[in-house]
């Protein structure tokens, strides 16, 4: 690399300096890498070791509040008369602290399975999910899914909205539910309109003829059709193409609204892209919403119907950036011939980052915690804890990763891991080659304090039990990482658990709290 240091190569590649913000949720200050300009990842790795998962829930609140502010600004600029509803697509990350944070930040709820509805029902009973929020139920619904929806409605939750995916679902719902239902319909794409990168989406939804039959079936019943669902794709980074596709859906909504006056919600679906996967990412969120509202208003005016409330379902956008994995280099093996070196990590990429294996072209932001002043090298990463030739990244055909000169003990941070990775891998389960789940540090905001929970990594006994073996006390010896010097550790204050029903507001006009930094009095409370 012509003798370049990593920081020089990084600056030349991305146009950002060695100090300050790297993107909207990663920064570097004083040779230390920060998450959300708050969490000192170098200090976290020094204190807790690696591999390590750092969960920073306030970042979820930031994502939700930003989108709602962009929507409000777009409404003001365009003069759009409808409201805006932000729904969290929980399938991106079902973790309790994640769902609770999204709800406390004002998000509505979108489900994809029977168990998902059961979680929503539980959160409503516990007072976490308010009765004035919507629960949008998407996907194909078997008997268990429909029964969970009906049970929730019979319990008194009126704003659950099953989105009909086939006509048999509708008949089963009407037969089982004795209370009036709010219903939605999802449009089914024609083959010409299917996202070529996500062809499986073509199976969802109803054709125009089937939607017309839903309208007829609901006549003279107490049930109301209230939502039209237009889902285009996932991680859509071309706003012009997205708006063009939604314009056809808006026309379909307008024609349906003339036949079904109860219709008042236009759901533009998921697909909102996130900056969590690439430092090259650029997307004008405010501009997209402005054009969407302007287009929808024009269509409604043409058809002489009211402008609907906009609904967006946000999965990756909500949670991808709130999580970081920190892995440690265990060995470095020289590449053969002109091939880059192999950097073997004390973990597994295919277990921790399953999208790296199953999603073509999937990217993650991968940065070293230190060594930015060292020579840069092209490398290939591989999992050391699996005996599997597919456990490597980047994938074939992609350029090698650039990192400082690798060495055993080097720490590497993986960003953009908060959506789908643990859900696909199966959090709490037994994993490929018995790779244990890493230590998890969960950080939440409770008024003026950051509340920290530490969850121990999986041990051999737990994994044996999951696989049906007798749970013995057998435990493999594990090396102890070098602990941070006492004077640099975060002080342990009296234990205080998060109060689940209280909203955790991000402090306004307060100095950033860099957890793990060399300072006292930062309001961090730790419970082990």
Phi, psi (rounded to 5 degrees) for 28? -140, 125
Write out the two tokens for 130.
Answer: 């308010």
Length of the chain: 528
Cα(284)–Cα(400) distance, integer angstroms:
29
Write out the two tokens for 342.
Answer: 């192999």
The active-site residue out of 57, 177, 334, 387 is 387
Write out the two tokens for 401.
Answer: 């990763």
Angle of CA points 493, 499, 504, to nearest 5° = 90
Pairing of strands 20-21, 26-29: antiparallel
Write out the two tokens for 338.
Answer: 């002109």
Q: Are 442 and 55 in contact (CB under 8 A)?
A: yes
By the 10 Å C-beta count (0-12 exposed, 13-18 middle, 19+ buried), 381 is classed as buried
Distances, alpha carbon 205 to alpha carbons 13, 169, 211, 310, 325, in Å: 43, 11, 9, 19, 36
**Crossing angle of helices 167-176/208-218, nearest 10°?**
20
Cα(161)–Cα(353) distance, integer angstroms:
33
Extended beta strands in 291-336, E state: 309-314, 323-333
Active site annotation includes 177: no
Distances, alpha carbon 289 to alpha carbons 84, 175, 263, 276, 446, in Å: 10, 39, 21, 20, 32
Among all residues, which ones are annotated catalytic?
387
């Amino acid at each position: 690399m012509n003798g370049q240091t990593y920081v020089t190569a990084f600056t030349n590649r991305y146009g950002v300096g060695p100090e300050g913000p790297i993107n909207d949720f990663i920064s570097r200050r004083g040779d230390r890498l920060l998450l959300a300009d708050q969490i000192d990842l170098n200090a976290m790795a020094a204190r807790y070791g690696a591999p390590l998962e750092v969960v920073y829930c306030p970042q979820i609140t930031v994502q939700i509040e930003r989108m709602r502010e962009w929507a409000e600004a777009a409404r003001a600029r365009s003069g759009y008369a409808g409201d805006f509803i932000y729904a969290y697509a929980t399938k991106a990350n079902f973790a309790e602290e994640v769902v609770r944070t999204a709800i406390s930040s004002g998000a509505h709820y979108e489900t994809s399975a029977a168990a998902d509805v059961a979680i929503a029902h539980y959160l409503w009973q516990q007072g976490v999910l308010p009765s004035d929020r919507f629960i949008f139920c998407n996907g194909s619904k078997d008997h268990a899914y429909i029964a969970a929806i009906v049970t929730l409605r019979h319990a008194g939750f009126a704003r659950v909205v099953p989105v009909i995916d086939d006509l048999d679902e509708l008949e089963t719902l009407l037969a089982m539910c004795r209370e009036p239902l709010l219903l939605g319909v999802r449009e089914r794409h024609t083959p010409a309109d299917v996202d070529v990168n996500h062809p499986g989406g073509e199976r969802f939804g109803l054709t125009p003829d089937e939607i017309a039959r839903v309208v007829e079936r609901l006549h003279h019943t107490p049930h109301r059709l209230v939502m039209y669902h237009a889902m285009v794709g996932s991680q859509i980074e071309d706003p012009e193409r997205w708006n063009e596709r939604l314009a056809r859906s808006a026309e379909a909504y307008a024609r349906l609204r003339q036949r079904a006056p109860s219709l008042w919600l236009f759901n533009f679906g998921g697909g909102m892209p996130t900056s969590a996967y690439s430092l090259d990412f650029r997307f004008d969120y405010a501009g997209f919403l402005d054009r969407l509202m302007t287009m929808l208003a024009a269509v409604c005016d043409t058809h002489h119907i009211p402008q609907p409330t906009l609904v967006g379902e946000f999965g990756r956008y909500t949670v991808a950036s709130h999580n970081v994995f920190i892995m440690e280099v265990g060995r470095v093996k020289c590449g053969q011939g002109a091939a880059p070196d192999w950097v073997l990590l004390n973990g597994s990429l295919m277990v921790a980052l399953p999208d790296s294996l199953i999603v073509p072209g999937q990217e993650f932001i991968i940065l070293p915690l230190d060594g930015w002043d060292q020579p840069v090298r092209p490398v290939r990463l591989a999992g050391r804890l699996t005996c599997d030739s597919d456990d490597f990244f980047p994938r074939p055909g992609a350029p090698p990763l650039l990192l400082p000169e690798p060495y055993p003990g080097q720490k590497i941070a993986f960003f953009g891991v908060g959506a789908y990775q643990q859900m696909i891998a199966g959090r709490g389960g037994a994993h490929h080659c018995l790779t244990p789940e890493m230590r998890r540090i969960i950080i939440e905001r409770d008024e003026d304090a950051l509340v920290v929970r530490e969850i121990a990594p999986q041990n051999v006994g737990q994994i044996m039990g999951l696989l049906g073996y007798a749970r013995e006390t057998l435990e493999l010896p594990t090396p102890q990482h070098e602990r941070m010097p006492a004077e640099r550790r975060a002080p342990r204050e009296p234990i205080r658990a998060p109060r689940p029903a209280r909203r955790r507001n991000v402090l306004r006009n307060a100095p950033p709290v860099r957890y793990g930094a060399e300072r006292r009095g930062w309001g961090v409370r730790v419970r082990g």
